[in-house]
Amino acid sequence: DIVMTQSPDSLAMSLGERATITCKSSQNVLYDSTNRNYLAWYQQKPGQPPKLLIYWASTRESGVPDRFIGSGSGTDFTLTISSLQAEDVAVYYCQQYYSVPLTFGGGTKVEIK
């Protein structure tokens, strides 16, 4: 199984600040023949199902604000919220869909300081 490790477990930033979450996979999730990273990011607010933010490591889902930026390749990935807003308070998960079983990181809780 590919193990996904997120850090930090939680972070508290002021409104307008940049928040950065990292995700490391235990194996490469870049598929050579397509040059695509099989890595997604989700946002989960309390009492709601997760919501897809980013797929292919850096492609924003339709309707997702452009302050959410996904980057990275191979085994190291980052989700950046360029200017933290109150509505961004949530838990964020990375997921690899390179191979089954699909696996998730442990989550990063983002709060406002």
Partner 1 sequence: QVQLQESGPGLVKPSETLSLTCTVSGDSITSYYWSWIRQPAGKGLEWIGRMYNGGSPNYNPSLKSRVSMSVDTSKKQVSLTLTSVTAADTAVYYCTRGGGGYDYSDRWGQGILVTVSS
- Residues of the shown chain interacting with partner 1 in the complex, contacts defined by CB under 8 A: 1, 38, 40, 42, 49-52, 55, 61, 93, 95, 97, 100-107
Residue 21 structure tokens: 């979450």
- Which of 38, 1, 16, 11 shows the shortest CA–CA distance to 107? 11
CB of 12 to partner 1, least distance (A): 19
CB of 26 to partner 1, least distance (A): 16
- Which of 103, 98, 100, 106 shows the shortest CA–CA distance to 28? 98
What torsion, rounded to 10 degrees, do the Cα atoms 100, 106, 112, 113 define?
A: -150
CB of 80 to partner 1, least distance (A): 19
Nearer to partner 1, 5 or 83 (CB): 5
Nearer to partner 1, 14 or 35 (CB): 35
